[in-house]
Every structure is written in C-alpha cells, then in structure tokens.
Amino acid sequence: MVRAGSAVDAATAVIFATFMALMSQVARVTQPEARPATALGLALLVVCGLALALRRINPLLAFTLTVGTAVAYLGLRFAGWPIYLGAFAGLLALVFGVTEARVWVPFAAIGGVGMAVATGAPEGWQPAPMITIAVVWAAVAVLAARATQVRRKLAEEEAAGRVVEERLRIARELHDVLSHSLATISLQAGVGLHLVDDRPEQAREALHAIRQVSNDALAQARAALAVVRGPGEEPPQAAPGLADLDALVTSVRATGLGVDLAVDLGSRAIPDVISATAYRIVQEALTNVMRHAGPGARARTHVGTAHGWLEIDVTDDGIGAAVPAHSPGHGLRGLAERATAVGGELQAGPASGGGFTLHARLPLGAEG
C-alpha cells in the first residue's frame, strides 16, 4: 500500500512539475515586468514540483524544497503564479504530514514570511500582494490544521468502533462455545453420575464424551481469540460451519436429547461467513433446548435454501422457556446480532402448540 501511494505521488509530482513549467510561459504574459524564463527558472519549477513526491516519505523535506525553490524563483523575479501552487502544496504536505504543531508551525511561519517577502520582487515591491500572500498563507495553514484534526478524530472514532465490534464478536463466539459446551458437559456429567455404579461402561463413555467436548471447546475458544494471539503462534483452526452440523448433533444426542436433523442445500454454494453463522445459530438453539426444554423433549432442525436465502428452523416439543420481548437472553440477543450482521434476520419464541421455535434466514447473495 505504501509503495502504491509513493508511485502515485511520484507520477503526480511529475505531472505537476510539467504543468508549472508550461504555465510559467503563460504567467509572464500577465507579468510583463517579470524576468523571462531561463533554464534556471525552469529548473526551480521542476524541483518545486518533483519535491512533492516526498510528501508521504518526508513531509518536512518536501515542504523545505517546495518553499525554498519558490522563494528563490520569486526572488530572481521570474513570472510568479504557477510557483505559488507548488509552495501551497508543500504547505499542505507539511500540515497534513507532521502531527506535532510545535514542529510544523515554526516552519510554516518562516515559509509564509519568506513567500510574502519574495513576492515583492516580481510584483515591483507593492505591499498589497505581499500582505495578501501572507494572509492567504496563514488562512490555508489554519484550515489545513483544522481539517487534519477532524480527520484524525474521525479515524480514532472509527478505530474505537472497530475495537468495540471485535470485542462483541469475541464475546458472542465465547458465549456460544462455552454455553453449548458447558451445557453438554453438565448433562453428560449427570449421566455419568447416574450410571457410575450400575453401568460403569456407559459412565466411562460419558466421561469420554466430556473430554471430547472439552477439547473441542478449547479449540473453538482459541479460534475466537485468534485476533489477540501473539505473533509466531500457530494459526487457529477454521470456524465450524454447516459441514460440522452432523458432529454437533451427534454430541447433543449423546446427552440424551433426541434431535432430528435435515439439511437440504441442493447444489448451492454457501459463503463461509453464512455457513459459520448458520452453525452458531443451530448450536445455540440446541443448547437452549438442552437447558430449557426439560426431560423427554425432542428437537427438529431443518436447514435449507429458498429464493436466495438460507432458511434455518429449530423447534422442540419441550416445556419451553419464557423470553420477554424487551429482554431476550444473551444467547438469543447474540444470535440476532449475528444474523443482522450478515444481512439476515432471526425470530424466536414459544411455539403455538407448546415448546419453542426459532427461525432465521440468511442471505446467500445473487442467484448463481
């Protein structure tokens, strides 16, 4: 990105230098008392323009070269106005590129005085043009400084917003991972305690399941925290998606909850972000069934595509749990935020015939 910016700056500087050199011939028509253009005058114009190529690399040097050559050019009584463009461009490069006012203000002030005094030579030392240049120079410096402050404030606010969004993303990931894993572990531990005396083999299977769920939870937690990993660490595993739904349902069934799963995607390719979002929605929905539906409940999960949308339905026939419209749980709130973040929508609440139902639709983009 830096190299691309430098290349653009270099090309712009060449075009600017050429423009000033050509327009200096026109400028002399309006300033007949000025000195005719010479090789020295053209060289100063070219150096003034080319110095702007340094505005990102060294704005202070770019300013010094542009203003220095402009003062020399005007002091030698060459025709004036094209060189002012280069000098003011150097001033903008200084104000935009140097963050500390205590550094750029003295340089800008010295440059302004130099330009005002040098203006007198080709203008016959008339005070009005000299004062005008000084006032305009100061005004441009102040306006550029103000614009820079606003731009930096907006950049800081944008960066702060990205931090908040990333924290929310991590919080949602950790909630979904830990909520599902801890609910599964709790149920499996209950099964193990119940069977440890009479059927130790099944109790051992429950312990193995707990170990597997724990390892999966740790791996997914590492993936959720990938943005704060230190350099040099191995990359985290990919986020789970629709291809992992069978494994998810298998782990849920191991807790004793009956789950029917139907996935009908046809030949439609599912974007990774939609696939990952859909997995988390199904995961959290089944976690809520495990926690709230009660013993003997059964969940039905259907994932399919229709008219450019990925449709997700999870229903159960359990006792359900009240979800106040004004204060949904953290899990449902997080799922709604996930769906909204990718342009989708989510609705959840008690089913008309008992139990609980969740419906989500996520956009798949243009039809392929």
Q: Which domains does the chain have, with CATH numbers?
A: 2-125 (no CATH), 242-368 (3.30.565.10)
Residue with tokens 């028509």: 29
Residue 236 token pair: 């985290």
Cβ(348)–Cβ(333) below 8 Å: no
CB 171 within 8 A of CB 146: no
Q: Which two tokens stand for residue 141?
A: 């410096």
Count how many Cα atoms sit within 13 Å of the Cα of residue 31 in the half-sphere of its side chain: 23
Are the CB atoms for 356 and 288 separated by under 8 Å?
Answer: yes
Contacts of 287 (CB under 8 A, 6+ apart): 176, 179, 180, 183, 184, 331
Q: What is the pLDDT along the chain (368 residues), one digit of tens a residue?
A: 446 567 888 888 888 888 887 777 766 666 666 677 788 888 888 888 888 888 888 999 999 999 999 999 888 888 777 888 889 999 999 999 888 888 889 999 999 999 988 887 766 678 888 888 899 999 999 999 999 889 888 888 888 887 777 777 777 777 767 666 777 777 667 766 766 667 777 667 767 767 777 777 677 676 666 655 555 455 556 678 899 899 888 888 877 788 999 998 877 888 989 998 999 899 888 888 888 777 778 899 999 998 889 999 999 888 755 444 444 555 678 788 888 889 999 998 888 777 889 999 999 875 44
